[in-house]
Chains A and B, each alone.
Chain A
């Protein structure tokens, strides 16, 4: 077992805690850099979606995981970023202008949304963010001079310093990867700065943070603004990847997908956002696989066990009918959320930490290490 003996604060805030990290992250980076040359175009496209979801996941992690504020309205920030990009591109501005512009504008909107957060807690904040998302969706559908309403907007390929970067090219892959890496490094730096420390203090106890001199209002608004700005940047990439945007793409379902990213990944660290993004993006191909391949496989399997041809065919048709039902995706999402919160509350990254600790402490691991504390005293209502 590795034990890192820290002797000063500089050691505590290092980004890479020990030599092993250089190896593991270096290897990961090398694999990601080589990936577009190794995998097919479909998988590359999925990876780009993973990057975009991961950027949103990191943004949401700053707000939910680190500052302890809730938001079920991040699809609205994504939409604002995407529409800013589409609008400015249609006006002839290049990527290097509208990319930061989308981030800044979304950040400003985020700060405005954050202002009610000063007075609201828990559910009220969640409900306020949902309302905000609905209003944005409706505005996008009605403000036709800018957004073209429900007809949607076409988004052309990126013009980046004179280079055309089409949405399926390797360059776009590297652009998304680069932005994700920059966002992650930026967030890590943010979290070891006084601002990040204040966020965590607010999450752990507002009262304690306030008595230590943290200006709660300012930091909450700042957290909302940063989170929204990063989501806006992701929105630009999303618009280019989809090449077409319309209001019905940015619904409550998308906001909930983003929340799922951090719940599935584990809402306490950036690793969680990445793992969650991989998981969510892979759900769709998985459903397609369920529909196309699994019924046939199970039928073949049951034939192997001596089930008659007719019965096997009946099983195949029945399964196909079940997996092709229109609401299947919703049911799977619902089940995933419930099962993760009930049985794996720390998410995939938490599971990884548990497995790691199990082997580090073998045979002394105890389950109680990760048990959450329950509180039955009313806390939300009397604040």
Chain B
């Protein structure tokens, strides 16, 4: 039972990371109907940028965290402006290929700039543990869970209570109609990319004390965030988080209780099952037209 709880908390922490990456997919997909395959690599880049600020330059952890997230916002806007905007409105497949190419490029560039060694960021809370009875919970894992909950709450309020959030939702409903209503669609899309990259940056910095910062970390985690996003129903923000949690927990438990090999396959098996049985996901927000 104790083992189970321990694994559950690890799974939840991992699931939060998946959830944050999936959230990035969902934000961009909702606004522009683009799937950003480079989302995991943006997360990886966030980790490296934070490493530069905190370990190399030697800033305070929280300041470095903040600066890294802001930097990621700028990176997101830049990517949107120069890579995504020229091809918006073209067939889906081309856009997806561009983001895959972008992922390749970011991964190689990160490898060239920061090298291929595993880097580690020391967080002020990375050593401690929380003991509840016999249960030992590491602070770095708890920090991921807490930060994710806060971030999701902030984003939820932002999208539902602010003017800009409403404008973003309108854009995601129908770009053309939003444009006619006077919403500056280009700027909104650019901001959505910034937010999405910032979320990825937060995930990257939170992940750094747990796993190491490495140029391939984004590919592995990013691809596992897809099942999370699909499970949550690709259009829903809480869905992304719930999907991420389910995938994270299932993966961790499969790694603990099932023979070797199941751990890596389990998320994709779930994904295929969801696609076969309930393609609209748990929180299906997608309408389906019958021909």
Contacts and interface: CB of A to CB of B under 8 A. Distances in A.
A330 B108 contact: yes
Contacts of A123: 29, 35, 92, 96, 234
Interface in B208-232: 215, 223, 226-227, 230
Contacts of B35: 123, 126
A334 B110 CA distance: 13
B264 interface: yes
Interface residues on B, range: 35 or more
Interface SS, A side: helix
B128 interface: no
A142 B112 contact: no
B28 to A, nearest CB: 12
B93 A138 contact: no
Contacts of B89: 374-376
Contacts of B112: 322, 325, 327-328, 331
Contact of A372 (B90, B215, B260): B90
Interface string B279-291: 1000000111101
Contacts, number: 154
B271 interface: yes
Interface in A109-146: 116, 119-120, 122-124, 126-128, 130-132, 134-135, 138, 141-142
A44 B271 CA distance: 43
Contact of A210 (B100, B234, B291): B291
Interface in B48-100: 83, 86-90, 92-98, 100
A372 B230 CA distance: 30
A207 interface: yes
B174 A119 contact: no
Contact of B93 (A64, A142, A211): A64
A342 B272 contact: no
Contacts of B88: 374, 376
Contact of A122 (B92, B173, B227): B92
Contacts of A326: 111, 116
A256 B100 contact: yes
Contacts of A381: 33, 235, 286-287
B235 to A, nearest CB: 8
Contact of B271 (A131, A337, A341, A375): A131
A377 B106 CA distance: 31
A263 interface: yes
B87 A327 contact: no
Contacts of B116: 326-327
B260 to A, nearest CB: 8
A206 interface: yes
Nearest to A342: B86
B265 A135 contact: yes
A337 B234 CA distance: 25
Contact of A263 (B29, B97, B226, B272): B97
Given A127-B226, A128-B272, A326-B111, A334 B105 contact: yes
Nearest to B107: A330
A335 B288 CA distance: 36
A206 B288 CA distance: 14
Interface string B157-184: 0000000000000000111100000000
B83 A337 contact: no
B291 A207 contact: yes
B129 interface: no
B90 A374 contact: yes
B82 to A, nearest CB: 9
Contacts of A103: none
9 contacts: A122-B92, A256-B100, A327-B107, A328-B112, A330-B105, A330-B107, A333-B104, A336-B101, A338-B102
